[in-house]
Amino acid sequence: MTSRGKALAWQTVAVLVTATIVIYFANNVVTNLAVRGIQFGFGFLWAKAGFDIPFHLAEWDVNFSYGRALWVAAINTLFASAICIVLASMLGLTLALMRLSGNLLAMGTSRALIEVIRNTPQLLQIVFFYFAVLQALPPMRQSVTIGTSVFLNVRGLYLPAASGTLWDWITGLSWAAVLIAALLWRRIGMQLPRLLVLPPVLILGLVVAGFTAQWDAPALKGFNFQGGVRVPPEILALALGVSIYTSAFIAENIRAAIIGIHKGQTEAAFSLGLTPGRTMALVILPQALRILIPPLTSQYLNIIKSTTLGAAIAYPEILQIFARTVLNQSGRAIEVMTLVLGVFLAINLVASAAMNAWNRKLALQGR
């Protein structure tokens, strides 16, 4: 038998053994549930929930079903994950560049922050931001005013809101970004790395969407703000805790990737008259990105899973809403946990596939 045939045979045996183990445990669970008179099924998802979700991006009412609650909680999880990924990436890049700047103050500050952040518990940081920082903010009438339409107080962050539904806003912004990306890439895309084209695309997309939208600014009326949108302190604390904690690890990954680029690349860029900033942006970072993607993927997946820590401060994500409230009301522990695991598995597999596709696209041909 050839080596290929032997490998195929061993893979077949491994699949059969795994399938046998899964079938055995599944049959064991079903048998034990039947002995105890417990029914297994997902029909409870259509039952009335009867509870409120204080923060939701998708439409929600107490008369909706448990299945709808799973959908709303999943969107909240994706929303928190997206915010944390963006913030952690920006903070991580900033800390890494400070660490490599050569400036003693910047280097010392970056190193101190990284060591403090990554050597303290992540949950403790989230709780600290929630109770020691956000809960210490002034009441509504003494809100911290940022500009003329942004207010920060103990009840959260109040921002101007665009008219229309969330999905209309996202769709319009996406189309604007795609159009601007096409124009930019056609004119200057061959001269600049895509890494540098993306930020202007997003910024211009936001500007276009902002000028074409109808804005509703929050205003204090009586004892509460009317209009706009409120970002509750729970999502703020979760975003700060998770993004700052992960940024310390991302910073070290970025620093290692930059150090991995041969110093001859920097010397060649300097010989062409490029400034240190342009050398880093145009020469070093695009090459370091090839080294950075695999460890960055792991950090992004950790961020998605770390959003479950929001349950400690009552942020309505999947663990808080489905694995606690729905589980307590329905009593369907196995079904609920299976669904929660399935949702996180699906989210992480999609994110991992996207990062792997990006990694393959950046990889040098012939390697």
What are the sequence ranges of the domains in the chain? 1-40, 41-163+214-362
CA-based max dimension of the chain: 83
Instruction: Collapse the DSSP code of 216 into the 3-class scheme (helix H, G, I; strand E, B; otherwise coil) and give the result.
Output: strand
- Supply the pLDDT for residue 4: 75
- Supply the pLDDT for residue 192: 45
User: Residues in the chain with pLDDT < 50?
Assistant: 188-192, 195, 366-367
Which tokens belong to 244? 């700052």
For residue 214, the 8-state DSSP code is P
Contact 57, 79 (CB under 8 A): yes
Q: Which of 346, 359, 278, 307 is nearest to 88 (CA)?
A: 307
Q: Which CATH superfamily is domain 41-163+214-362 in?
A: MetI-like (1.10.3720.10)
- Distance, in Å, from the CA atom of 23 to the CA atom of 27, rounded to the nearest integer, reads 6
- Supply the pLDDT for residue 159: 81
Q: Which of 246, 244, 242, 226 is nearest to 234 (CA)?
A: 242
- Distance, in Å, from the CA atom of 135 to the CA atom of 233, rounded to the nearest integer, reads 8
pLDDT tens profile 205-247: 555 555 555 667 788 887 788 877 788 899 999 999 999 999 9
**0.85 surpassed by pTM:** no
Tell me the DSSP string of 240-263: HHHHHHHHHHHHHHHHHHHHTS-H
For residue 348, the 8-state DSSP code is H
- Distance, in Å, from the CA atom of 158 to the CA atom of 151, rounded to the nearest integer, reads 5
Looking at this protein, which amino acid is placed at residue 2? T
- Supply the pLDDT for residue 88: 93
Q: What are phi and psi of 332, to 5 degrees?
A: -90, 75
